[in-house]
Amino acid sequence: MTHPPLPSELLRRNLPLLCAALALVVSPHAADLPLDIPGFVWLACGWRLAALYRKAPLPSRISLFLLTLAGAGLVYVHFHKFYGREGGTALFLVGLGLKLLEMRSLRDLYLVIYLALFVAVTEYLFSQSIPIAAYTLGVVTLLMSCLIGLNGGESLSLAGRLRLGAKMVMQAVPVMVVLFLFLPRIAGPLWKLPEDEPGGRTGLSDSMEPGAISRLGLSRETAFRVDFEGALPPPQERYWRGPVFWQYDGRRWTAGYDEPLPARRPPQAAGASYRYALTLEPQRRRWVFPLETLETFPAELTRVEDGFLLAAEPIRERRRYVLSSRPAAIFDALSEGERRRALQIPGMPDERVRELVNGWLLENPSAEAMAQKALRHFREEPFIYSLRPPAIAGDPVAGFLFDTRRGFCEHYAGAFVYLMRVAGVPARVVTGYQGGHWNPVGHFLEVAQADAHAWAEIWIDGDGWTRFDPTAAVAPERIERELEFAAGADGAVVFASPVAQALGDRLSSLRGLMREAGLMWDAVDHAWVQWVLAYGPEDQGRFLERLGVVDWNRLVYWLTGLLGLLALISFALLWPRSRPVADPALRLYLRVAGKLERQGLVRAPAEGMRDFATRVAQTRPDLAEPFGRFTALFLAIRYGGRVQPAALERLKALGREIPSR
Amino acid sequence: MISVPIEWKERFDLRRFFRGEKAVDGPIRLTHRRVFIAPNRRGFGLAVLLAIQFLAAINYSNNLAFILTFLLAGIAMQSTLYAFRNLAGLSVRRGKAPPVFVGEPARFELHLDNPSRIHRHGLSARLAGAATTIRFDVSPESTATLTLHAETETRGWLPLPTVTFDTSFPLGWFRAWSPINLRQRALVYPRPAPAGIEPPAIPEPGSGTRLSHSEEEDFYGFSGYRPGDPLKRIHWKGVAKGQGVHVKQYAGGGTAELALDWQYTPGADVEARLSRLCRWVLDAEAAGTPYSLRLPGVVIEKGRGEAHRAHCLEALALFGT
C-alpha cells in the first residue's frame, strides 16, 4: 500500500518541534547506554533539520541501507545481542533515528512519534526517579504538541500548540490515576527476563571476608526504608537480619549450604510486637531483612531456618513487604547436625587463641559467661574500631586478636564466633543491617548500605540463639546512636574573628538548611517509592478490598463509573459556551424566539424584529396576537429608555403565552 | 437554531452516520445528534502502542511505565472530547449557489457560524462524490464562508450533495464527522454548443434572420445606456468627457433582433438542440441583440439584459424536466 507523501508545508511547520522532542526523548539514555546510541538519533535530527533549512539532501536509498547496517552494528558491538534491557532499548533508539530519516508520509510521521513514546517508556527501565518521571512527562507533552501541530491549521501558533499539549496532559492525569489504582495488575514477568543485571548495585555479599562490608560502609545508598505502625523499637533492637554464616574455612565465612533451608520449626514469639513495612531497594539477591524475631510475613516470601526471608526471585525492583516481629523468642533444642556445624573450625586453633580460651574455661564453663568474657576482652584490651584495618599476615583470627587489634564488625564478629567455637559454645555469624536514620519529615527509618553490619549469635540452652555484638563492646556509639539528626548541635565551631564567626554561622545555618532540604527530599522520595513505585498487585488487592470491590463485576462498575464521571466533568468543562446575554429583556426575547424556532419559525440574521413579527403573523395567525404584543413591549423596553421591573414582569408573562408547540 | 425532530426509524439507521439526515432549509446546528466520532487508523496504531507498552510494564513490573501508558490512554480519551467539541456548536447556513453551465463546477457557498469562544482548528469540508476537501479554521465568534465545488454533468437543478465536515484535531487519533444535508440547489444550464452555426432564418414577418453586429455595419446613432447593453458598445470617450453613458447603435442588415425557436434549431437530439440554443442566447446577449425564445410549451418574448438571459437559460436548463 502506498501512502500519500507529506505536504512539504506541513513538514516545514512541524519538523523543528518534532526534532527537538526526539532529541530530548533520547537524551536521558545517554546516562545508561554508550553515547553513540543516542548520538545516532541526535545526528538523524540534525540531518533532517539540515535538509529542511539548508536544502541538504536526505540520505538516498543506498545510504539508508548502509545507515541501517551501521546502526545495527553499533548495537551489536556494544551488547552482542538485540534483546534485553540495554540491547533492546538501543535497537529502538537506532530504529527511531532511521525512521526519522526515511520518514515520507504522514503514516511514517506517526510511526516516529509512537516509537518516541515507546523510547520514553524504556527510560523507566533504567531509572524511576522523580526527576526522570517529570522529564519524560515534559517530553510527552512536546510529542503531543507535535501531533496537535499536525492536525491543527496554520492559525495555531507554537505557543498555542504547547499550551494545548500541556493542558491535555494535565487533564489526562485523573484518568491515569483511576486506571493506575483500579485497572487489574498482573504480576510479571510475562516472559523470561534475559539476564538483566541491574549493574553496579552494592549490597550484602553471600560470604564474609575481611573487607567486604567495609566497601558498603562508605556507601550512603539506601538499602531499604521502614515505616513502623506504632512504636519504634529501641536502637539496640534495630538488627535487620540477613544471611547467617556457619562455615569458616580459615579466611572466609560462608553459609555452609547451597540453598538456605526453609524453617522447620519457627521459634515461638513472645513479648511486644512491631508491625512495619519494609520498602526494599533493588538488589541482586533474594534476601529480605526482618527484625528479630519474625512473626508474620507475606505468603510470597519464605522464612528460612536462619531467621531471615527469601523472595522467590532476585529483587530487581523496589518491593514493599509488610512484616511483624517480636524481639523475644522461645526456641527448642539444637539438633545434633546444627551443633556440629555451629562448632566447626578449620584445623587446630592458634596457640595464643587456645591459651586465651583455656584461661576463660578454667574460670567458668557456662556459655553466657564465656561470651561475657570475650566481650570484656574486646573492651578491656586496646581494640580499635576502624574502617581501614591493616592487613593481617598469617592466621586472620589470631593476627587480629593479638597483633593488629584494629578492625570493624566483620573482624569482631568473626573473631568472637571463632573464640566461642574454640571454647565449645555453638556460635554463628549473622550479617544484615543495624540501626538506620530516622527521618522526622516522613516518619520512617532509612537504612543505608553504610548500616551493613555483622554480629554473632551463640546457643544458650534454654534461651536458644542469643545475639552478642562484639563491635558494640569496642565502639558502642556504632550501635547506640539514636536519632542523630534530632540533636542538630554539631557544626557549632567557634571562630576567632567576628567576621569569620558570622560567616561560619551563616555557613552552618546554610548547612542546616541543606540538611533539612535533604531530609525533605528523602521523605518525598520515600513517599514516591511507597505510594507510586511500589504499588503492585498485592497493594491493589488490599486497596480494592477496602473499597469493597471483590469481584470482576464490581470492578467493572467502579472503572466505568469513575471514568464516565471524569469524562462528564471534562465534558462540562470543555463544553463551548456562548457569551451570556446581559440584557434580561433580550434574554427573554431569545427564549421566546427559541420556542418559535422549534416550531420552524426562524428569524433570519438580517431580519428585523418587527419584520419577523409580521412574518410570524402571516404564517401563524394564531400567534399574531400574542407575539405581536410581546414584540411591541420588548421593543418598548429595549429601545424605549428606562427598564422598569414591572415591565419586565409583564414581558415575561407575555412570553409565557406563546405556546411551545 | 433549528432542530427538526427526527423520526425513530431514521434515528437508528446506520446510514445516517455517512449520509446525514433529511435535507432541511437550515441553519443546522451541529449537536451530539449529528456529530459522530470513531477512531481512525492512527488511533488503532495508538491502541497497538498502548498494548505493547502495557505488556512491557507488566513484564518489568514497572509502575512508571504503567503510569505513562495510562496517561496516554487518558489523553486519548480527552482527545475524543476535544474532537467532538471542535465541531459541536457550529451552525451551518447555506449561501449562494450561482447557476453554471454543464461541465463547469457548481459552486455552493456555505456559512459556518461559530458563536462560541472556542477556536475551531483543523476542520475540513467535503462534498459527497467530490475528490477534494477544503481545510479551514474558524475563529471564535466569527463566521467562515466556504465555497464547495461539485461536478456538473447534466443540466437542470443540482441539489447540494451531502456535505461532510470532519476533524481529527487535536491528536489525529479520532475522527469526528458530521454529514449535513441542506436544502440548496444550483441551476445548471446546458453546455453551450461550439460557435459556428448561425441561427437559421425564420420565415416569419417582422423578425430578423441574422445575428449582425460586425463593425463594418453603419453607425446609426447613440441611445441611453440600459442595463444589459454590451460593454463594448458603450461610448467610452463620451463617458470620459462627462457626457453620461451612451451606447452606440448600429444599423444595417435589417432589424437587429433575433427569434430563437426550438423548431428551427438543428441538432441530433434534445440536448444538442438545447446546447445550440444556449450558444445563440449567449451570443445574442453578448452582441446586444434583442432575442426571443420559443420552446415547446414555453414562449419568452423578445428582450435583452441579464434578467432576460437568465430567464431564457433557465427555460433551457429546465426544459423537459
Residue A212 binned pLDDT confidence (cut-offs 50, 70, 90)? low
Output the CA torsion sign for A155, A156, A159, A164. positive
Is pLDDT of B206 > 60? Answer: no
Residue A192 binned pLDDT confidence (cut-offs 50, 70, 90)? low
Span B264-273, average pLDDT: 86
For B296-310, the pLDDT digits (tens) are: 888 999 888 899 999
Interface test with A, best of B35, B70, B85 (most A CBs within 10 A): B70
Is pLDDT of B236 > 80? Answer: no
Q: What pLDDT does residue B216 have?
A: 44
Span A284-290, average pLDDT: 87
> Between B223 and A630, whose confidence is greater?
A630
Q: Measured between CB atoms, which of B2, B141, B169 is closest to A597?
A: B2
> In chain A, which residues have their Cβ closer than 8 Å to the Cβ of B115?
578-579
Distance CA B177, CA B163 (A): 10
For A477-506, the pLDDT digits (tens) are: 665 543 333 333 333 444 556 676 777 777
> With contact defined as beta carbons under 8 Å apart, do B110 and B92 qualify?
yes
Q: Which residues of B272-307 are buried (b: 16+ CB within 10 A; e: fewer)?
A: ebbbbbbbbbbbbbebbbbbbbbbeeeebeebbeee
Query: Measuring CA to CA, which residue among A423, A457, A425, A450 is closest to residue A436?
Result: A450
For A78-107, the pLDDT digits (tens) are: 888 887 788 889 999 999 999 999 898 999
Residue A45 known to be catalytic: no
> Between A204 and A615, whose confidence is greater?
A615
Q: Is the ipTM of this complex over 0.85?
A: no
Query: Measuring CA to CA, which residue among B318, B273, B287 is closest to residue B300?
Result: B318
Angstroms from B206 CA to nearest CA on chain A: 48
Is pLDDT of B2 > 60? Answer: no
Question: Is beta strand B258-261 parallel, antiparallel or unpaired with respect to B291-295?
Answer: parallel
Beta bridge partner(s), residue A323: A276
Task: Round the average pLDDT of chain B to a whole number and report it.
Answer: 83
With CB atoms and an 8 Å threshold, state whether B74 touches A172.
yes
> With contact defined as beta carbons under 8 Å apart, do B181 and B22 qualify?
yes
Helices (DSSP H) in B122-269: which residue ranges? Answer: 236-240
> In chain A, which residues have their Cβ closer than 8 Å to the Cβ of B135?
153
Picking from A29-33, A90-94, A195-199, which range would have the lowest pLDDT averaged per residue? Answer: A195-199
Distance CA B193, CA A248 (A): 113
Query: Measuring CA to CA, which residue among A215, A235, A222 is closest to residue A446?
Result: A222
With CB atoms and an 8 Å threshold, state whether A190 touches B59.
yes
> With contact defined as beta carbons under 8 Å apart, do B278 and B191 qualify?
yes
Q: What pLDDT does residue A315 have?
A: 80
Residue B209 binned pLDDT confidence (cut-offs 50, 70, 90)? very low
Is pLDDT of A581 > 60? Answer: no
Residue A443 known to be catalytic: no
Task: Enumerate residues 6+ apart whose C-beta is below 8 A from A319.
Answer: A279, A280, A311, A534, A536
Query: Measuring CA to CA, which residue among A538, A566, A574, A571 is closest to residue A177?
Result: A566
Query: Measuring CA to CA, which residue among A282, A274, A238 is closest to residue A445?
Result: A238
> In chain B, which residues have their Cβ closer than 8 Å to the Cβ of A172?
71-75, 77-78
Is pLDDT of A194 > 60? Answer: no
With CB atoms and an 8 Å threshold, state whether B121 touches A156.
yes
Phi-psi region of A476 (alpha: psi -120 to 50; beta: other; left: phi over 0): alpha
> With contact defined as beta carbons under 8 Å apart, do A295 and A324 qualify?
yes
Is pLDDT of A273 > 90? Answer: no
Picking from A319-333, A340-354, A405-419, A475-489, which range would have the lowest pLDDT averaged per residue? Answer: A475-489
> In chain A, which residues have their Cβ closer than 8 Å to the Cβ of B55?
190
With CB atoms and an 8 Å threshold, state whether A175 touches B121.
no
Give the residue carrying C-alpha cell 453620461: B244
Find the catalytic residue in A32, A350, A469, A522: A469
Query: Measuring CA to CA, which residue among B173, B85, B135, B172 is closest to residue A155?
Result: B135
Q: What pLDDT does residue B179 have?
A: 93
Task: Round the average pLDDT of chain A to a whole number and report it.
Answer: 83
Distance CA A46, CA A40 (A): 10
What single DSSP character describes residue B242? T
With CB atoms and an 8 Å threshold, state whether A577 touches B116.
yes
Is pLDDT of A442 > 60? Answer: yes
Residue A469 known to be catalytic: yes
With CB atoms and an 8 Å threshold, state whether A117 touches B49.
yes
For B80-116, the pLDDT digits (tens) are: 999 999 999 899 999 999 999 999 999 999 999 888 8
Is pLDDT of A124 > 70? Answer: yes
Helices (DSSP H) in A124-222: which residue ranges? Answer: 130-151, 158-182, 212-217
Is pLDDT of B172 > 90? Answer: yes
Beta bridge partner(s), residue A253: A208, A248
Interface test with A, best of B62, B171, B182 (most A CBs within 10 A): B171
Is pLDDT of B153 > 50? Answer: yes
> In the structure grid, which three cell numbers stand for residue A276, read together?
512495619
Is pLDDT of B45 > 70? Answer: yes
Q: What pLDDT does residue A263 have?
A: 75
Is pLDDT of A127 > 60? Answer: yes
Find the catalytic residue in A409, A411, A437, A522: A409
Query: Measuring CA to CA, which residue among A423, A447, A183 is closest to residue A291?
Result: A447
With CB atoms and an 8 Å threshold, state whether A532 touches B63.
yes
Span A566-580, average pLDDT: 77
> In chain B, which residues have their Cβ closer than 8 Å to the Cβ of A18?
none
Interface test with B, best of A14, A92, A109, A114 (most B CBs within 10 A): A114
Distance CA B51, CA B55 (A): 6
State pTM to two decimals. 0.70
Instruction: Name the 3-class secondary structure at A238.
Output: coil
Q: What pLDDT does residue A570 have?
A: 86
Strand locations in A519-607 (E): none
